Amino acid sequence: MAASKTAGPATSPRALVLGGNRIPFARAGGAYAHASNQDMLTAALDGLVARYGLQGERIGEVAAGAVLKHSRDFNLTRETVLGSALSAETPAYDLQQACATGLETVVSLSNKIRLGQIDSAVAGGVDTTSDAPIAVSDRLRRALLDLSRARSVGQKVAAAAKIRPKDLAPSTPRTSEPRTGLSMGEHQALTTAQWGITREAQDEIALASHQRLAAAWEQGFFDDLVTPYRGQSRDGNLRADTSLEKLAALKPTFGLGLDTPATMTAGNSTPLTDGASTVLLGNEEWAAAHGLTPLAVVVDAEAAAVDFVHGVDGLLMAPAFAVPRLLARNGLTLADLDYVEIHEAFASTVLTTLAAWESEEFGRERLGLDGAFGTVDRARLNVHGSSLAAGHPFAATGGRIVATISKELHRRRAAEGRPVRALVSVCAAGGLGLTAILEAV
């Protein structure tokens, strides 16, 4: 029987992580202070192109985004492609889902690959707090727009007369939640207090992050994942020599107005960071045609959101809901995961998530399970360090995590010859969370 022209392929192609490249992350105001989002994303992308020999290639699609974005960067990713060594005939689109932007580019491009719409893709993200957009005040903006529409001299004078000196102050982007007026740190301080997370536990997470990231750099793990940029060759926030004593000496910065002791410091919170990351994706055929070794399969993903506005759950707790749903759908438990990557927005974000999963009450009442969801083996958690040490250029974090853990998955599978899995979890503003399962190839 002749196959129908509209029937899809017998088996869907798998979406493979083939590699990644980022620029070292720099502290805000540091080596990349004058570099724009487009500059940094181009540097990361051109590094990827050079590493995998993709000069002049037409890629299926490139998707990337930035959380803090100039309005002139409405086509940031396409402009980046045009300025890169990829073929100018490579399509691209911008995507934005707060700090989940980078991971969502991986997920949505993987879905296109799985549908057979594209055979290859580059996912990415970038953010700069050094070159952040500064807007004029709403009153000044309205007056200027009225002025531009004014026809008569009288209308022009009337429009201009509305401008007050205080309207001239620029408005800088803020990281506070529009609906609650609380910064992300203040929100997390509430969640930290709710779950009774101690200062010591947070500092231990921060210390492990620095020590593990430093060890990975020392071992050369990042040599084929990072391209130096503007004289920066390692992550600028990394403090290899930090200690519990040094971390304990820092003054708390969030939760100062609460009735419980403030425990969140600059040491156990991520700093403002500049950076960009990219991930190369493709199906088996494309990978083989380009002589590339697949590292991991993007198996599945799950997003979640919480009602933090009314205090039902903490702002950054959505992954605590997404992961149980994701694992259940795939017939997996926490014990089936060889690696658990939980983005360290704050050390306490990791700890409140783990605490929620270990709580009988949360499991029964919020997750609808028979009891606690489970316990994560700390030895499998953020094995090469995470955002506390590397820094967190918002949209670039997802790509950093996916490329890093995909390389680790492949290495582990080659060593042990058995299936190896990783969970990636990223929390985001607006009470969002995005999680994904990767499996070694």
The nearest distance, CB 49 to other proteins, in angstroms, is 9
Encoded tokens for 379? 């030895």
Whole-angstrom Cα distance, residue 119 to residue 355? 40
Three-class DSSP labels, 121-180: EEEEEEECCCCCCCECCHHHHHHHHHHHHCCCHHHHHHHHHCCCHHHHCCECCCCCCCCC
Q: Could you tell me which residues are beta bridge partners of residue 120?
A: 282
Q: Which of 21, 42, 105, 435 binds other proteins (CB under 8 A)?
A: 42
| Residue 134 interacts with other proteins (CB under 8 A): yes or no | no
Check if the beta carbon of residue 302 is closer than 8 Å to that of residue 329. Answer: yes
> Which segments within 262-331 are labelled E, that is strand?
264-265, 273-282, 296-305
Between the CA of residue 126 and those of 66, 157, 210, 256, what are the distances in Å? 5, 42, 22, 31
Give catalytic status of residue 99 as yes or no.
yes
Q: Report the residue number, 87 or 155, with the smaller CB distance to other proteins.
A: 87
| Residue 38 interacts with other proteins (CB under 8 A): yes or no | yes
Q: Which of 43, 67, 292, 320 binds other proteins (CB under 8 A)?
A: 43
Whole-angstrom Cα distance, residue 43 to residue 84? 8
Check if the beta carbon of residue 300 is closer than 8 Å to that of residue 321. Answer: no
| Residue 62 interacts with other proteins (CB under 8 A): yes or no | no
Give catalytic status of residue 210 as yes or no.
no
Q: Which residues contact 384 (CB under 8 A, 6 or more apart)?
A: 212, 213, 215, 216, 221, 404, 405, 408
Q: Which of 17, 18, 26, 31 binds other proteins (CB under 8 A)?
A: 31
The nearest distance, CB 88 to other proteins, in angstroms, is 8
| Residue 29 interacts with other proteins (CB under 8 A): yes or no | no
The nearest distance, CB 231 to other proteins, in angstroms, is 6
| DSSP H stretches of helix in 8-100 | 37-52, 76-82
**Annotated catalytic residue: which of 99, 187, 343, 410?**
99
Check if the beta carbon of residue 370 is closer than 8 Å to that of residue 364. Answer: yes
Q: Residue 161: CA atoms inside 13 Å, Cβ hemisphere, count?
A: 6
**Annotated catalytic residue: which of 187, 210, 384, 392?**
392
The nearest distance, CB 407 to other proteins, in angstroms, is 23
How many chain residues touch other proteins (CB under 8 A)?
A: 21
Which of the ranges 6-14, 33-41, 274-282, 351-359 carries the binding residues for other proteins, by CB under 8 A? 33-41
| Residue 54 interacts with other proteins (CB under 8 A): yes or no | no
Q: Which of 46, 61, 73, 203 binds other proteins (CB under 8 A)?
A: 46
The nearest distance, CB 72 to other proteins, in angstroms, is 12
Binders of other proteins in range 66-105 (CB under 8 A): 80, 82-85, 88
Binders of other proteins in range 224-263 (CB under 8 A): 228-231
Binding site for other proteins (CB under 8 A): 31, 34-36, 38-39, 42-43, 46, 55-56, 80, 82-85, 88, 228-231
Residue positions annotated with a catalytic role: 99, 392, 427
